[in-house]
Amino acid sequence: MKIYMHKSLSRKRLFIILLSIVTILSLLIPTLGNPSVVNGEVLVYQDPTAAIPDRVSDLVSRMSLNEKIGQMTQVDRRYLNSDQDIATYYLGSLLSGGGSAPTPNTPEAWADMYDQYQSIALSSNLGIPLIYGIDAVHGHNNVYGATIFPHNIGLGATRNPALLKQIGEATAKEVAGTGIDWTFAPALSVARNERWGRTYESFGEDPEIASSYATIIEGLQGTNLNDPATILATAKHWVGDGGTTGGDDQGDTQISEQELRDIHIAPYLNAINSGVGSIMISYSSWNGEKLHGHDYLINDVLKGELGFDGFIVSDWAAIDQLPGDYASDVRDSINAGIDMIMVPDNYVNFINTLRTEVNEGRIAMTRIDDAVERILTKKFELGLFESPYTDRTYTATVGSQAHRDIARDAVRQSLVLLKNEGNILPLSKNLNKVFVAGKNADNIGYQSGGWSISWQGSGGDITPGTTILEGIQNAVSPSTTVTYNERGIGIKSDYDVAIVVIGEKPYAEGNGDKPGNFGLERTDLAVLDKMKRAGVPIVVILVSGRPLIVTDQLADWNAFVEAWLPGTEGGGVADVLFGDYNFTGTLPMSWPRTGDQIPINIGDSQYDPLFPYGYGLTFP
């Protein structure tokens, strides 16, 4: 018997049969990597409508010890043995240390790199997204073409918290545009000794400035971390990094607890109240005890007394400096309250060591769970589970004119006028002949300082921007002749003014420690001498990360401006030099007369600086 099936009937039956098969399969075979629906139920941690604490506890309850340890492990991308290790070891975080950039170093390549790493992280069993950190400490400074803002010491001179919020917002957009979720900034260091190589990363010698600059955290994190234009901020380095004896980077801060609280802990109060999402621990010690193992200052004070509820990250390989073997380094740092370890290289050794310490009962599982819960809470707040990939709408903001305009305004406000004999400033834009000299006049790298494209920074055209010389050339009238010679060759007495732009070459961290002579470099002194011999009025612009000893030269200068480390928008210097804007900056650091006076800080009993903290002239 032949069964004739009506065409429409057979097609309909076929469709129903297929639909049934698909439905059964979808129920039986949970999707790999992201088991958002198992046996028909949505897992709480995958449910964006669920409360974050519930999502965290649900996820933690599903995690193996290896997955928990992976979340506590941060690796610099350069040290990945293979990208697949991100999933194999359930890595929770990657970073780019200074200069750890993709090739080519373009915003798009950064975003592609980030998305590639993220896709691997999401392929692991529970699909926990990475959180990627970077030192965007004066703009997104590792990225070629990004806006580079003045370093913190210059921002300290502005005394403008609202400006800091603007800078935070602009920086967050540029960082987010490359996919990255987290910056290791702001440094809340209170630099008490300008011999410290990281003085320029400090907002100044008195905690009042850093305390008022919690606004940059509001700029970076916004009112909702879920906003694609916001990133996680880091207050660093907890605590006392700027108070070491002799300004020795990673040295020993030998002061009373009351001084530690009044000077170095003070800025963290506003930062914590502003909801800063992470805090980085300092390499330094307090009265001989390394901060990375300091149970009292981390567990009792920071997490207990101050109630910090974000997560705590170590500094780069800093736990290795703890006394004892690596097992005790891991044990002591995590038991002291550090939640994530910036290993950043030998992550397999770290993971194996941590697993052993837990399995043998020397680190409690409750400590591990606390660390993982803190880290996951920020990942959920950032929206990484729902939007793990780069939001490319912000990629075009990297180095945008709008951001460069903010940076140029910051440069203007950061300048401090320390001498203006005969009111030589502001200069006329219609001068006949202007001579510009000095090694820091036409050098984007020098005016950006350390943490610029590379960790230590470097000279030359390292990234697009406007040098101080270019700013001068753009400011004057077409009838004005501007002659530039780095060494001052060609100066003659018929020049109306010599603008001498001198100062420091880039450095970062301990490489900038300056235990010896604190005066100007010989090449700068030689240029100044040549200008002096020509008998031309001299305007000195000092490009430096800190005050330097200029007492013996100052008398020869008609005007003296401290420009700190202005970054890519050097045009801001000419804006004020030629009177489009007035000086508003004031010193965030006391200016010593001699090297022997260092350290010298406002409030010292014998206080006799060349220029006092808070000093700054304006045009009449």
**Considering only residues 156-215, where is the footprint of ligand GLC by CB under 6 A?**
184
Closer to ligand GLC by Cβ: residue 78 or 433: 78
| Amino acid at residue number 308 | F
| Smaller CB separation from ligand GLC, 236 or 505 | 236
Query: Residues 89 to 148: which contact ligand GLC by CB under 6 A?
Result: 97-98, 135
We find the least distance from the C-beta atom of residue 452 to ligand GLC, in angstroms, to be 13
540 pairs with which residues across the strands? 500, 560
How far, CA to CA in Å, does 388 sit from each of 44, 80, 128, 135, 181? 18, 20, 9, 20, 10
Contacts of 15 (CB under 8 A, 6+ apart): none
Of 155 and 563, the one with the shorter C-beta distance to ligand GLC is 155
344 vs 592, beta carbon nearer ligand GLC: 344
Q: Which is nearer to ligand GLC, 279 or 561 (CB)?
A: 279
Q: How far is the CB of 231 from ligand GLC (least distance, A)?
A: 14
Q: Indicate whether 315 belongs to the interface with ligand GLC (CB under 6 A).
A: yes
CB of 184 to ligand GLC, least distance (A): 3
Cβ of residue 372: shortest distance to ligand GLC, in angstroms? 22
Which tokens hold the place of 412? 């203007």
Tell me the residue type at 514: K
Positions 227 through 246 that interact with ligand GLC (CB under 6 A): 236
Shortest Å distance, C-beta 499 to ligand GLC:
34
Query: Dihedral sign, CA of 403, 173, 177, 310?
Result: positive
SS3 587: coil
Longest dimension (CA), the chain: 119
Shortest Å, Cβ 494 to ligand GLC: 50
Residue 507 near ligand GLC by CB under 6 A: no
Residue 294 or residue 419: which is nearer to ligand GLC going by CB?
Answer: 294
Pick from 47, 174, 190, 43: nearest CA to 601: 190
Query: Residue 77 or 419: which CB sits closer to ligand GLC?
Result: 77
Q: How many residues bind ligand GLC (CB under 6 A)?
A: 7
SS3 398: coil
Distance CA 298, CA 308 (A): 10
Distances (CA, A) of 79 to 83, 315, 317, 347: 10, 16, 13, 9
- Please name every residue paired with 76 in a beta bridge, in sequence order, or none if there are none: 95
* Cα–Cα distance, 418 to 618 (Å, whole number): 9
In the complex, what is the shortest distance from the CB of residue 379 to ligand GLC, in angstroms, rounded to a whole number? 19
Residue 112 is inside which H or E element, if any?
A: helix 107-122
Locus of tokens 């002659």: 483
Measured in degrees and rounded to the nearest 5, phi and psi for residue 519 equal: -90, -170
* Catalytic option among 135, 181, 315, 332: 315
Contacts of 213 (CB under 8 A, 6+ apart): 155, 156, 161, 164, 186, 203, 267
316 binds ligand GLC (CB under 6 A): yes
Told to judge if 496 belongs to the known catalytic residues of this protein, a careful annotator would answer no
Nearer to ligand GLC, 165 or 236 (CB): 236
The pairing of beta strand 311-313 with beta strand 278-281: parallel
Please state, in angstroms and as integers, the Cα–Cα distance from residue 382 to each residue in 79, 89, 376, following that order: 26, 22, 10
Query: Shortest Cβ distance from residue 257 to ligand GLC (Å)?
Result: 24
Whose tokens are 């992280």? That residue is 121
- Helix, strand, coil tally for the chain in percent (to 5): 40, 15, 45
* Catalytically active residues, by annotation: 315
Which residues sit at the interface with ligand GLC, rule CB under 6 A? 97-98, 135, 184, 236, 315-316
